[in-house]
Amino acid sequence: MIDFELSDAQRNIQQFLHWVAESEIRPVSLEADEAHEVPMTLLRKLKELGVTMDALPGPTSSASAGSGDGDRPVERQGNRIGVLAAEELAWGDAAVAISLPGAGLGGPPVQMMGTPEQKERFLGIFKDPEPRWGAYALTEPEAGSDVSGIRTTCRKDGDHWVLNGTKLFITNGARASWNVVFATVDPTLGRAGHRVFVVEKGTRGFQVGRILDKMGIRASETAELLFQDCRVPAENLLGGEERYAQREGFKAAMQTFDVTRPTVGAMAVGIGRAAFEYTRDRLRQELDLSRPIPRYGVLAERLTRMERELQAARLLVWQAASMADQRIPNTKEASMAKAYAGTVATRACADAVELLGAAGVRHDRWVEKWYRDIKVFDIFEGTGQVQRLVVARRLFEQLGLRV
């Protein structure tokens, strides 16, 4: 059963992260966007406060171990806490939220596929007091939505694997201590050929290429990674070779999305909520809404639509996250939540610009930034179209039909 009530402990975490977002993140947000960089002083401070990526994607979160919070002693809640955290931190600044130290998107595949030694070796580094990052390198110049089309190759050579290829758009890929890299033993095998490696910084043949400039979340690092005869020790193949008999490499890529798509949806809700609250408060200051004005109907309709759709998106996100916590298959719900949240939060940011008029496009104000930031939430970790395709496939499967 999905419970939409927050426990006292969950509410405390939410309130603490809102305070962090408001008092630590918002004050540097516009400047970080302008500089295309999140200040290291902020990331260190957040790490000291315990605000790391560990709080975001569910299964890597310490809260997912079923430690309980008094009123829910054995329930797993890492994903639920992860989406609460994601919404609050993205309300502060989405680029900062995805730049937080920690394993990030790289965490779930290590957690799901890694041997106990690999988990200790690769996830253990995040106990270090210094900020450290992990990253997830799947996308390539010619393979984005169509994951089965990756062209980065891997070939066994003695006690090493040799990787050749290019990865593109990798969040935190340059600063990461390690990248989870998807490669194929033979591109003609499609999904069956996939293998998943942890490639550590400094590995011979691995280089960071360009850092990409973007329309939104500009302070977040998005890197190109180059692999040229890159020799990766055999013990860095996640789970060992026997894991790959049943297309485990491809499955790992997809299962990662089941837990991270709700988090991305929650961040979209956070940005949309920021735009909604800012617009509501500005209009309240500037207009006397206690008496009818010519635009009253339009303002009321827009503001209530923004709030209504964001609340519906939040409930879809919580549902998908709670299912992940309860180990209930949630592929369809995770995609529904991400697709819906991306769509309505994009609409909310566009509404904010429209309702505020010229003030909505000023570069030194928040709304213009949120309008730019939100777009990518309907692109990364699967575009809106791809999410709708996933939902349609699941629906048709249930009906015994083929898409």
**So which residues are the catalytic ones?**
381
Residue closer to ligand FAD by CB (options 318, 377) is: 377
Tokens of 398: 């249930």
Residue closer to ligand FAD by CB (options 136, 161) is: 136
Task: Give me the least distance between CB of 192 and ligand FAD, in Å please.
Answer: 20
Matching residue, tokens 């079923």: 66
Residue closer to ligand FAD by CB (options 231, 393) is: 393
Q: Which residues bind ligand FAD (CB under 6 A)?
A: 105, 135-139, 144-145, 169-171, 214, 217, 222, 376, 379-383, 385-386, 389
Task: Give me the least distance between CB of 375 and ligand FAD, in Å please.
Answer: 9
One-character DSSP codes across 315-362: HHHHHHHHHHHTT---HHHHHHHHHHHHHHHHHHHHHHHHHHGGGGG-
Residue 37's contacts (CB-CB under 8 Å, 6 or more residues apart) are: 219, 221
Task: Give me the least distance between CB of 211 and ligand FAD, in Å please.
Answer: 11
Determine phi and psi for 379, rounding to 5 degrees. Answer: -120, -60
User: Of 159, 101, 158, which is closest to residue 133 (Cα–Cα)?
Assistant: 101
Residues β-bridged to residue 223: 170, 211
Task: Give me the least distance between CB of 328 and ligand FAD, in Å please.
Answer: 25
Task: Give me the least distance between CB of 172 and ligand FAD, in Å please.
Answer: 7
Do residues 107 and 57 make contact, with C-beta atoms less than 8 angstroms apart? yes
Task: Give me the least distance between CB of 387 and ligand FAD, in Å please.
Answer: 9
Task: Give me the least distance between CB of 1 and ligand FAD, in Å please.
Answer: 33
Residue closer to ligand FAD by CB (options 139, 236) is: 139
User: Of 282, 241, 291, which is closest to residue 367 (Cα–Cα)?
Assistant: 282
User: Of 278, 348, 343, which is closest to residue 306 (Cα–Cα)?
Assistant: 348
Rounded-to-integer distance, Cα 30 and Cα 286, Å: 23
One-character DSSP codes across 52-78: SGGGSSGGGSGGGG----SSSSS---H
Residue closer to ligand FAD by CB (options 21, 217) is: 217
Residue 247 is given by DSSP the state S
User: To the nearest 5 percent, what fractions of the chain are helix, strand and coil?
Assistant: 60, 15, 25
Residue closer to ligand FAD by CB (options 223, 356) is: 223
Residue 253, SS3? Answer: helix
Residue closer to ligand FAD by CB (options 58, 144) is: 144
Rounded-to-integer distance, Cα 377 and Cα 379, Å: 5
Centroid of chain to Cα 290: 40
In the complex, residue closest to ligand FAD by CB: 144
Rounded-to-integer distance, Cα 222 and Cα 220, Å: 6
Paired sense of beta strands 178-184 and 134-137, if any:
parallel
Q: Report the sign of the C-alpha dihedral through residues 107, 314, 279, 373, in that order.
A: positive
